[in-house]
Structure 1
Amino acid sequence: MIRSLLLASVAVILAQPALAQEAPPAADPPAAAGAPAKAGKIANDGRDIVVTTRLDRARASIQPSLGATTYTITNETIQALPGGDNQQLNQILLQLPGVVQDGFGQFHVRDDHNNLQYRINGTILPEGVAVFGQTLSPRLVDRFDLRTGALPAQYGLRTAGIIDITTKSGFNNGGELSLYGGSHGTIEPSIEYGGSTGATNYYVTGSYRHSDLGIEAVDPDRTALHDKTNQYQGFVYLDHTLDEGNRVSFIGGYSDQSFQIPNPRGLHPDGTYSVGGVTDFLSDNLDERQRERTAFGIASFLHDAGPVTLQASLFARYSSLRYTPDTLGELLFNGIAQAAFKQDFSVGGQLEGVYRAGDAHTLRGGVIISRDRGNSRTTSQVFPGTVDDNGDFHQSGEPISIADNGAATEWTYSAYLQDEWKLSRALTVNFGGRFDHYNGFRAESQFSPRINAVLTPIHGLTLHAGYARYFSPAPFANVATTSVAKFVNTSAEAPNGLTSTTPFAERQDYLDIGAEQKLGDVTIGIDAYHRRSKNLIDEGQFGAPIILTPFNYAHGRIDGVEGNISYAHGAWQIYGNIAYAKAQGQTIASGEFNFDPADVAYIQNHYIYLDHDQTYTGSGGASYRFSDGTKLGTSMIYGSGLRRDGDVPNGGKLPPYAVFNLTASHHFAGTGLEVRADIFNVADHVYEIRDGSGIGVGAPQFGQRRGFFFGISEKI
C-alpha cells in the first residue's frame, strides 16, 4: 500500500518511478582527519570484497591530507541531521568549522569567497557558471572531507577548501523510494538504486525538487513573492574490476534548475527614466528568471601494483546560465535591462600517483591539464543620454539595444611532486612544490613550495604546522567581458570614466598550526591560520543578472582560529564548532567600473572588511539512537553577521543570529519503511543574511522562517 502511494506520488511529478537509499542505523558527528572510509557492500564472495576495499584504499593513498586541516562528514552524519539527504549540500557544509552562510546558497570557508575545489573519488570536478543551484546531491555521498589550511602540493588553483567526495558504490542489489515535503510548497521525490553483477558495481540516483522558496527571500515575510524553483538532478556511478590491481570507473551527473528571482514589495521607480511615457512600475509585478544547467562526466583508470599506485582520469563539464529580465521594470528601476547567457565547457586530464620508496619515504606526484571555453552573450536595453557634473543622468530618447558578446579559451597546466618523510615514529614531514600556469584573459604562472609537519608526541595528541604558497586565478567562467566603451553616453555608462581591468591571479602566503587531542570518546581540536595575499580575489553581484563577477584587492589579509569538540559513545553523537575570522582588503585592482568612485578612492588608501567577512561562526548538533529504531536529533548554526556599509564601505555588520533545527525518525523493524519529521528554525527567528549594502552586494536576503517537513521512504 505504502509503496503504491509513493510510486503514484512520484509518477504524478516526474512521470517515472523514483527512489532513495535507506539511512544507515548509526550517526557519526563531523570527525577529524583520518576517519576510515567504509567498504562497499558488494553482493559477491569475500575475495571480491577484499579486492574492492584494497583498491579503494590504494586510490585514497594517492592524496592524503597530511598536515592539512580536515573535517569529515559521513553518510550516517547526513542522515542524522534535520532534513537528512533531502537537504542541499551547502546546508550540510554549514555544520563544519569556519564555514560561513551567505545568500544565493553561497558559503565561505575561512572568510574566502568561493575559491573551492570539488573532487569526486579523487578526480577534479571542473568549475561551472552556476550561482544558485547545487550541482551535487548529498544522496550520492558515502562521505566527504573538507580540507583547508596549509594544503599538500597536490592541491592547487582553488585552495580555500577542497571538498573531496567519496561516492556510494557497491550495494546488495537494492535501493529506496522516498517522498519528502512540507512548508514553502516543498515536494521532493527521489530514487536511488545500487548493486553489483560479477566484477561490476553500479549506483544511480535521481530527484526532483519544487519549492516556493528557491532563493532566500528579500523580505522577512513568511511567504516569499515570486520565488519558485524546479530542480532536476541525476547521478550515475559505474566501476569494473579488471583484476586484482586494475579498475575502471565512470561518474556522470546532470542538473537542470530554474529559479524565479524574488521581488521586493511595494517599491516604485524614482522617476528618472521613462519608456513611452511610462515612469511607474510596482516592484511586486517584476518577472525575472534564471535557469542553470550542468552536465559532467569523469572516466578513471586505477592501477595498483605493490609500491606503485596510479590513477589516470579524463573529466569534462558543461554548464550554462540564462538570465531573463523584466525589461520594462528593470529599465524604469535601474536604467538597464540585460538578457544574459553564459556557457562554459571544460575538459581535461589528471594523472596522479604514489611510489612507496620504503618505510621512511613516500613520493607523490601528478600532472593536470585542462581547457576551458567560455561564451557570453548579452543584450542590454539602455537609455541614451548624458551624465552631468553632479553624476545625474539625463535621458535623451527611448531605450536602445546594445549587444555585447564574447568568447575566450583558457588553458591551465599544473604539475607537483612531494615526499612524505617519516623521520621517526612520532614525526612526519611532507614537503614539495607545484608549478601552475594559465593562459586565458591573462597569462600568469607561479612555483609554489609547500611543507607540513605532523607530530604525535604522546598517545591521542596530534600536532601539525605548515606553510603553503598559493596561486589562484580568477574563476574563468565568471570573468566579465563587458566592453565599457559601448555604454558611453547611456544610462549604463561607467561612473567618472573608471576602467575595467581584467582580474589578476591571487598569490598567497599561508601559515597554519593546529592540535587535536583524543580523550576516550571525546575529541578536541583547535587550528589557527595567517594569510597574506597579493591581488586578493573577491566576487560581487553587479547589475540585475545574478552572476558573480570576480575582482581584485591589491592587498589582502585574513586571520582566524577554529575550535571543535565531539563526543561519540554508544547511541550518543554530539559535536560543536566555533570559529573567529577577520578578512580585509585594500585598493581595488580590477573591475573598477563596477564601483562607486567615492568607494574606490577610500579603499585606495584604507583596508576595509571584505563583504563576506563574519567575525564569529558556530555550529553544533546532537543525536540519539534508540534500540527500537527511533532517532532524535538537533542541529544549529550561529553567525555574528556579515558586513554591510557603515561610515565606510563594509564598515558595519548585520545583527547576530542563531537558528535551531530538530529531527525525529523511526525505522519499522522487519520492513523497509522509515518515516521522518523535521522542523527548521524552531523559534521562527527572523534574521537577515544580507541587507543589500556593501561592496558587490545586490539585494537583501533573509533566512528561512520556521518550516515543517515530513518524509517517508520504503526499501525496494
Structure 2
Amino acid sequence: MHCRLFSSSILACLCVAGGAVQQALAQPDVPPLSRDFKTQAPTPGINDPVETVTVRLDRARSGLQPSLGAEVYRFGRGALATIPQGDNTPLNQVLLQAPGVAQDSYGQIHVRGDHNEVQFRLDGVQLPEGLAVFGQSLQTRFAHDLSLTTGALPAQYGFLQAAVINIDTKSGITDPGGEISVYGGARDYFQPSAAYGGSSGRWDWFVTADVLHNRIGIENSTGAFNAIHDLSNQYHGIGKLSFTADANTRVSLIAGVSNAQYQIPNNPAQVPGLGLSVNGTTDYASRDLTEHQREITDFAILSLQKQIGALDLQSSVFTRYSSLYYTPDPVGDLLYDGIALTAARSVMSTGTQTDASWRINNQHTLRAGFQLFVERNVSSTNSVVSPQVGEDGSGNPMFGDQPISLQSGQGKTGMVYGLYVQDEWRILPRVTINTGLRFDGVSEYIADHAFGPRVNVVWRPTDTTTLHVGYARYFTPPPFEQLTSNNLGAFAGTSAAPAQTLNDKVQAERDNYYDAGIDQIVLPGLHVGVDAYYKQASNLIDEGQFGAPIILSAFNYARGEVHGYEATASYDKGPLSLYGSVAWSRAIGKDLTSSQFNFSEADVSYIKNRWVHLDHDQRWTGSAGAAYSFLHGSNHPLRASVDLVVGSGLRADGDVPNGRALPGYYVINTSFVQTFKRLVLRGTEIRLDILNLLDRRYLIRDGSGIGVGAPQYGLRRTILGGITQRF
C-alpha cells in the first residue's frame, strides 16, 4: 500500500505527529493503522468489551477495502482540526491540500485531470451520485478522519474512479461528549453548530447539525470585494447509530439531510445582445437579475458487519434522494439567454453493496463483492421563449415580444451494477501482488457492460523504501443525474432554438490507467514521494454548464489522454509540522461525440480532428503549509498554522476552443486556535481564521471555454472567528 498520512499540519506523508512517530508501512499486505498521537488521546476504557470490539471491527472494516499499489492520502482527526476553519471547512477545501487536486467554480474539484469522477464513501459504503452543484452535502465535522485514494485502483472500486473519498465517521466511542460552537464574521457569515456522541451498553451514537448563513454561497462573478446577489442559507444534519450485537457482529445506521438555497451572483454592466423584446422591454440591468437555486439531499445507509473466523463481511443497503430547482429572472433571462427556464430535476437512488475478505493463509487474502444501484431520474421544465415571426432582409430570424411557454417533463428508471474478485498475494516477504477482475454494467439511457482487469505490485526493498506499479482497466457509466433526452424539436422557431439538433447519447467511458511511484523515509519525520500516471480514454466523459441554470450536463470526447507527475515532502518533529506538494498534469480530448447541440458548429468541426485541452486542465497545482503549537505541553496551548494553495489556471477560449490558460494564482490561509484545558474555561476553544490573507484577486473562470457558463473569481480576504465549548 502506498500511503501518505496527513498529520497535524494537514499533510504529512507516511508518518504521524508529535514526537510519537509511527511508521505506517508494516507489511505490504496488512492495512496500516495510524493514529495522530498529538491530537488524539488513547481510547478511554479500552479494556471495556464493547469498546474493544468497536476498535477491532473498525480495523476489520478497513481491511475489507485495502488500497495496495494505489496512492492514499490520509487526513487524521488532528489534520482536520488544524486546517483553517477546522470542522467548519467545506469538504472540497480540505481536499485541495492533497497533491493533484485542482479547484474549480461551484465547489467542484478535479483530481488528476478528470472532471468530476469522484466517489464518496461513508465507512466504506459508496453513496450514489446526487445533483448538488454548489453545496457540500457531506460535512467535515462528521468525519473522524478521511482519505483520498487515487491512481490504479484495486478491483473493489468501480463506477467513479478518478478518486475515492472515504470518510470514517465519528462515533460515540471514538469522539465522545458534546460541543456547541458559534462561528462567523465577514460577509454576514454566521454558522452555529452542535454535536454529541455517546454510548450505553451495546449502543453507540453520534449526531451533528449546523446552520450556515452567508453572502458567499457561490463564487463572485466579478473581482469586487463583495458579490452582488449572493445570499445563501444552508441547513445540514447527519447522525450515526450503532448496535454491537455480539463480539463479531455490528449493525449501524447513518442518515443525513442537507437543504440549501442560493442566490445566483450577478455580473454588472452587461447588456442584452440577442435583440429581443419582452412586452416592449428591450434593456435590463444585469446587476438586477434575480435568479435562485435550491438543492436538497437526503440519504441513509444501513450496514451489517460480521466476522466469522478468517472471514470479514460488510453488507449494506442505502438510499439517496437529491433534487435541484432553478428559478429564473422571467424577463432578464429571456433577454440575455433567449429563454427563461424554470427547471426541476431529482434523482432517487436505492441500492446495495457487499464486501467480503477471506484471509486464506499468510500468503493469500481473497476479496470479493458486488454493488447495485437502481435509480429514478425525473425532470420537468417550463421554458418561456420568444416565438419567431419572420426574417429580416439578411435572412436573420425576427422574434415577437409576446413570450410563449413550453412545458416538458420526463422520467427514467435505470440501474448500474458491478462485481469483483481479487487476490492479495505476498509472493515474497517484501513483494505483494494484488490482482483482480471487475465486471460492470449500466442499463439507463444506454445499455453497456465491460470486464476490467486490475493488477498492482508493491515492493519494499528496505524498511524505508516502497515502490509500486499498477494497471487498471476502468469502465465509467454516464452520469445518470446529468442526462436527459431533450426534445430539441419543441424549440424550433423560437429564441431558444439550438444551433444544431444533433444529440447522440452519452456513452460509457473506458480507460487504460497506468501508475508508478516511489516512497522514501529519508530520516525520522522526513518523508518524500514521487508518482507518475497515464490514462488513455475512449469516450472520455466531460461535463459543462450550458445555459443559465447551474445544472451540469455530460458529453463525450471520442478519445482522451491524461498524464502527470506528483511530488510530495513532509517533516514532523515535536510541535512543528511542514508539508509541500507539487503536481503537473495534461488533459486533452478529441472529437465531440454526444450532446452536440450544446456546442457551436464551429467548435464541433474544429475538435473533430484536433486535440484540445479539457476545460479543467490545469498544468501546475501545488499546496504547502506549516503548523506550530506554542506551549504545547501546557494546559492552554496555542496552535498557529498557515496553508498555501497554488494553481497555474484552468482553461479558457483563445484562438481555438480552450486554447489558453487563465492567469496563475496563489492563496494563503492562516489560523490561530487557543485551547483551554483547565479551570473555568476548561473545554473552551477560541479560533481566528483569515482566508486569502493577502487579499489576492484571482480568476477561476472567465466565462469562456467548452462547457463554461459564467465568470467566477476566488474569495477575497475574509476574517472569521469562533468559539467552541466542549462538555
Letter in 1 for 2:92: N
Is 2:669 the counterpart of 1:665? Answer: no
Q: Which string of whole-angstrom CA distances, capped at 9 and with x for unpartnered residues, describes residues 334-388 of structure 1?
A: 1101000001100001111001111111000001111010100011111111678
Kept in 1: contact 2:214–2:231 (CA 8 A) = yes
Decide whether aligned partners of structure 1 residues 148 and 88 sit closer, same or farther in structure 2, where only a CA change above 3 A counts. Answer: same
Decide whether aligned partners of structure 1 residues 231 and 391 sit closer, same or farther in structure 2, where only a CA change above 3 A counts. Answer: farther
Kept in 2: contact 1:404–1:482 (CA 8 A) = no
Letter in 2 for 1:222: F
Query: Which deviates further from its counterpart, 568-577 or 603-612?
Result: 568-577
Q: How does 1:100-499 map to 2 (within 5 A)?
A: 100-171=102-173, 173-270=176-273, 272-385=275-388, 392-396=396-400, 398-495=402-499, 497-499=500-502
1:632 pairs with one of 640, 664, 675: 640
Kept in 2: contact 1:43–1:196 (CA 8 A) = no
Kept in 2: contact 1:173–1:195 (CA 8 A) = yes
Kept in 2: contact 1:565–1:576 (CA 8 A) = yes
- Displacement of 1:265 in angstroms is 1.0
Letter in 2 for 1:190: S
Kept in 1: contact 2:184–2:190 (CA 8 A) = yes
Kept in 1: contact 2:476–2:510 (CA 8 A) = yes
Letter in 2 for 1:196: S
Is 2:724 the counterpart of 1:713? Answer: yes
**Distance in structure 1 (CA, Å) of the matches to 2:265 and 2:301:** 35
- Displacement of 1:400 in angstroms is 1.0
Is 2:514 the counterpart of 1:511? Answer: yes
- Displacement of 1:404 in angstroms is 2.0
Decide whether aligned partners of structure 1 residues 382 and 361 sit closer, same or farther in structure 2, where only a CA change above 3 A counts. Answer: same
C-alpha RMSD over aligned residues: 1.7
Partner of 2:663: 655
2:71 pairs with one of 64, 69, 77: 69
**Distance in structure 2 (CA, Å) of the matches to 1:209 and 1:450:** 43
Decide whether aligned partners of structure 1 residues 287 and 658 sit closer, same or farther in structure 2, where only a CA change above 3 A counts. Answer: same
Kept in 2: contact 1:116–1:161 (CA 8 A) = yes
Kept in 2: contact 1:691–1:699 (CA 8 A) = yes
**Distance in structure 1 (CA, Å) of the matches to 2:391 and 2:497:** 8
For 1:281, what is the secondary structure of its paired residue? Answer: coil
1:696 pairs with one of 676, 688, 707: 707
1:646 pairs with one of 654, 673, 684: 654
For 2:106, what is the secondary structure of its paired residue? Answer: coil
Kept in 1: contact 2:422–2:434 (CA 8 A) = yes
Letter in 2 for 1:517: Q
- Displacement of 1:393 in angstroms is 3.5
1:568 pairs with one of 572, 575, 595: 572
- Displacement of 1:35 in angstroms is 5.4
Percent identity over the alignment is 45
**Distance in structure 1 (CA, Å) of the matches to 2:443 and 2:99:** 35
**Distance in structure 1 (CA, Å) of the matches to 2:360 and 2:600:** 58
Kept in 1: contact 2:13–2:528 (CA 8 A) = no
For 1:327, what is the secondary structure of its paired residue? Answer: coil
**Distance in structure 2 (CA, Å) of the matches to 1:227 and 1:168:** 33
- Displacement of 1:30 in angstroms is 4.5
For 2:428, what is the secondary structure of its paired residue? Answer: coil
- Displacement of 1:270 in angstroms is 2.8
**Distance in structure 1 (CA, Å) of the matches to 2:330 and 2:34:** 52
**Distance in structure 2 (CA, Å) of the matches to 1:265 and 1:25:** 44
For 1:371, what is the secondary structure of its paired residue? Answer: strand
Q: Which string of whole-angstrom CA distances, capped at 9 and with x for unpartnered residues, describes residues 243-271 of structure 1?
A: 11111001111000010000011222136
For 1:663, what is the secondary structure of its paired residue? Answer: strand
**Structure 1 unaligned runs (5+)?**
1-23
**Distance in structure 2 (CA, Å) of the matches to 1:562 and 1:132:** 28
Decide whether aligned partners of structure 1 residues 378 and 200 sit closer, same or farther in structure 2, where only a CA change above 3 A counts. Answer: same
The alignment's TM-score, normalised by the length of structure 1, stands at 0.94
- Displacement of 1:50 in angstroms is 1.8
Q: How does 1:25-44 map to 2 (within 5 A)?
A: 29-32=11-14, 36-38=33-35, 41=43
Decide whether aligned partners of structure 1 residues 310 and 218 sit closer, same or farther in structure 2, where only a CA change above 3 A counts. Answer: same
Q: How does 1:514-525 map to 2 (within 5 A)?
A: 514-519=517-522, 520-525=524-529
- Displacement of 1:475 in angstroms is 0.8
The alignment's TM-score, normalised by the length of structure 2, stands at 0.93
Kept in 2: contact 1:26–1:625 (CA 8 A) = no
Kept in 2: contact 1:369–1:411 (CA 8 A) = yes
**Distance in structure 2 (CA, Å) of the matches to 1:389 and 1:489:** 17
Q: Which string of whole-angstrom CA distances, capped at 9 and with x for unpartnered residues, describes residues 452-497 of structure 1?
A: 00000111100000000000011101113321111111111121x3
Kept in 2: contact 1:260–1:288 (CA 8 A) = yes
**Distance in structure 1 (CA, Å) of the matches to 2:393 and 2:154:** 54
**Distance in structure 1 (CA, Å) of the matches to 2:323 and 2:53:** 40
- Displacement of 1:76 in angstroms is 0.8
**Distance in structure 2 (CA, Å) of the matches to 1:166 and 1:646:** 44
Kept in 1: contact 2:221–2:711 (CA 8 A) = yes
Kept in 2: contact 1:672–1:714 (CA 8 A) = yes
Decide whether aligned partners of structure 1 residues 37 and 258 sit closer, same or farther in structure 2, where only a CA change above 3 A counts. Answer: farther
For 2:331, what is the secondary structure of its paired residue? Answer: helix
Q: Which string of whole-angstrom CA distances, capped at 9 and with x for unpartnered residues, describes residues 635-691 of structure 1?
A: 010000000001100001110001111111111230111101011111110100000
**Distance in structure 2 (CA, Å) of the matches to 1:271 and 1:359:** 71
Kept in 2: contact 1:169–1:201 (CA 8 A) = yes
Kept in 1: contact 2:652–2:705 (CA 8 A) = yes
Letter in 1 for 2:33: P
Is 2:504 the counterpart of 1:501? Answer: yes
2:60 pairs with one of 58, 61, 65: 58
**Distance in structure 2 (CA, Å) of the matches to 1:25 and 1:466:** 27
- Displacement of 1:25 in angstroms is 12
2:687 pairs with one of 676, 681, 695: 676
**Distance in structure 2 (CA, Å) of the matches to 1:35 and 1:260:** 45
Q: Which string of whole-angstrom CA distances, capped at 9 and with x for unpartnered residues, describes residues 402-459 of structure 1?
A: 1121110111121100000000111000001100111000000000000000000111
**Distance in structure 1 (CA, Å) of the matches to 2:387 and 2:45:** 70
Kept in 2: contact 1:649–1:695 (CA 8 A) = yes
For 1:411, what is the secondary structure of its paired residue? Answer: strand
Structure 1 runs of 4+ aligned residues shifted over 2 Å read 24-49, 170-173, 386-393
Kept in 2: contact 1:176–1:713 (CA 8 A) = yes
1:557 pairs with one of 558, 561, 564: 561
For 1:275, what is the secondary structure of its paired residue? Answer: coil
Query: Which deviates further from its counterpart, 254-263 or 473-482?
Result: 473-482
Is 2:609 the counterpart of 1:605? Answer: yes
**Distance in structure 2 (CA, Å) of the matches to 1:391 and 1:308:** 74
- Displacement of 1:26 in angstroms is 5.5
Q: Which string of whole-angstrom CA distances, capped at 9 and with x for unpartnered residues, describes residues 54-73 of structure 1?
A: 11111111100111111111
For 1:238, what is the secondary structure of its paired residue? Answer: strand
Kept in 1: contact 2:172–2:197 (CA 8 A) = yes
**Distance in structure 2 (CA, Å) of the matches to 1:635 and 1:25:** 13
**Distance in structure 2 (CA, Å) of the matches to 1:79 and 1:270:** 49
For 1:450, what is the secondary structure of its paired residue? Answer: strand
Q: Which string of whole-angstrom CA distances, capped at 9 and with x for unpartnered residues, describes residues 60-89 of structure 1?
A: 111001111111111210111111111100
**Distance in structure 2 (CA, Å) of the matches to 1:387 and 1:657:** 47
